[in-house]
Amino acid sequence: METVDYHEQPSSAEPVHGPVAFEGAAAAAALARQPVIEAARPVGAHARENFMVAIALAVSEASTRERVHKLLLESESVIKSKAAAGMTQPFELPTDQAKVLEWLQGYFVEGSPTPLILISDLLKPPSETIDGFLTRECQARFAKHALGTVAILQSSGRVMDIDRTIRSDVGRDELTRVMVLLIGRLEYLTAPKCGRQVDPDDIVIRQLRSDNETQFREYFKLRHRVYSQMGYLDAAVENSPSGLEMTEVDVRSIHFGAFYHEALIGSARVVTNDNADDTLIDLFETIASQDPVAWQHLRKAYQFVLPIFESHRGMTGPMIEIIEAGQKCGELSRVIVDRAYRGNGISGQLIEVAKERAVRRGLQRVFLECLKVHEPLYQKHGFKCIDGIEGKVIDVERTMIAMELQSDEIEKVKARLE
């Protein structure tokens, strides 16, 4: 999915020297008043408006707090260079869950904030009744804001609704890697202001051909690159040398690419409840043959026909309706646009082409799962939130909402195709 936030982008901010204790609203105001600092850009990076993130530390263990702060200072220039972004020095927050939430509330709701990364040992798995309070409330209150979370835990690994985890003895290289990935995620959660501007006539959206192995390899690599930044992949997939993001439902999907002068810059797929395509099975097995991780995920079957039915128990009713009526259905997913080309309306083009192909294919119902921050994007294209359906999404360990393409929108597409 391409990640777009429709909140107004705040002014960038100059680094604040040393850890600073501010009330949330005061911190937001202080950032907004300060001038822009340009970050170094990697060689070959497209010129765009400087992206800035603020850092907040809420670490109860003094030695860990000092270590993390020291490593952030030491790796600041490397992080800025690799992420092509600016970064403030950390704000130091209280080490009480309720007070951290109060600070965040002031920062996001009462101010006009720069995207924020919270690094804290107070962030725990949301399943923990008491200790998971901060994580649950961050998800409930700030899901539509550009908030990134890094939990300091005894062991690293994916945790539901926490972006990244580190150990208290984290090294400089690992902290740098985590920060660069998380800054990339926050940039995808923020409305693009200035990407590489291209002539719309030079953008072509088309269905990928099952005889083009090269294009599909680039397609799976693009998905892997962006989903790594978003924190959607388990460690084995994220660190796989081939850099491929593949799942079993890909063999039952319609795949789309956005091309700029024949370079792949965007993707989308519509998973269907049709039988698997034998041609795609052969092609994808060839692509995954040298990567045990990709091969395993390609062969790992879903219990139900669409991922959304796996994720949400509340979707059992619609699933039974579809089966009993013998309907064709699908799920839109993997709507992704390369970072350098965001801001050109490409995600909207991908969605529209995917809708048309789904209708041509005879799909009578089309669903999707997305972060709350993306709801306005899909609403613009005829999708509506399904009341009461929100929860953990299979594979990505994120709380997302469910949406469905409205029947009147399907009729509009049919009319355009006649």
**Banded pLDDT at 46 (limits 50, 70, 90):** very low
- What are the distances in angstroms from CA 113 to CA 50, 91, 152, 229, 306? 15, 13, 24, 21, 38
* Average pLDDT value for residue range 139-146: 94
The architecture (CATH level 2) of 200-417 comes to 3-Layer(aba) Sandwich (3.40)
pLDDT, the chain, mean = 88
Rounded CA gap, 226 and 101, in Å? 29
* Average pLDDT value for residue range 120-147: 96
Instruction: Provide the residue count of the chain.
Output: 418
Residue 59: CB atoms within 10 A of its CB come to 22
Percent of the chain whose predicted confidence (pLDDT) is above 70: 87
**Banded pLDDT at 109 (limits 50, 70, 90):** confident
Confidence (pLDDT) at 50 = 73
Beta-carbon contacts of residue 231 (< 8 Å; ≥ 6 apart): 158, 163, 164, 181, 182, 185, 398
Residue 3: pLDDT above 70?
A: no
Amino acid at site 75: S
Q: Which of 190, 186, 246 is nearest to 216 (CA)?
A: 246
Amino acid at site 214: T
Strand partners, 116: 54, 147
Q: Which of 3, 31, 374, 380 is nearest to 192 (CA)?
A: 3
Confidence (pLDDT) at 38 = 37
Rounded CA gap, 417 and 360, in Å? 8
Percent of the chain whose predicted confidence (pLDDT) is above 90: 78
Tokens of 206: 């088309």
Of the ranges 2-6, 96-100, 340-344, the best mean pLDDT one? 96-100
* Average pLDDT value for residue range 279-291: 97
Q: Do 233 and 266 contact (CB within 8 A), yes or no? A: no
- Tens of pLDDT, residue by residue over 125-136, are 999 999 999 999
CATH number of 24-188: 3.40.50.2300
**Residue with token string 């429709």:** 6
Residue 35: pLDDT above 70?
A: no
Tokens of 370: 């997305």
Residue 33: pLDDT above 60?
A: no
* Average pLDDT value for residue range 151-179: 95
Residue 246: CB atoms within 10 A of its CB come to 25
Q: Do 110 and 38 contact (CB within 8 A), yes or no? A: no
Q: Which of 250, 254, 211 is nearest to 356 (CA)?
A: 254
Using only C-alpha atoms, what is the Rg of the chain? 22
Rounded CA gap, 396 and 415, in Å? 36
* Average pLDDT value for residue range 216-236: 96
- What are the distances in angstroms from CA 272 to CA 134, 269, 368, 386? 38, 10, 12, 19
More confident residue, 399 or 15: 399
Domain ranges of the chain: 24-188, 200-417
- Tens of pLDDT, residue by residue over 179-213, are 999 999 999 998 876 567 888 899 999 999 999 99
Q: Are strands 164-166 and 147-152 parallel, antiparallel or unpaired?
A: parallel
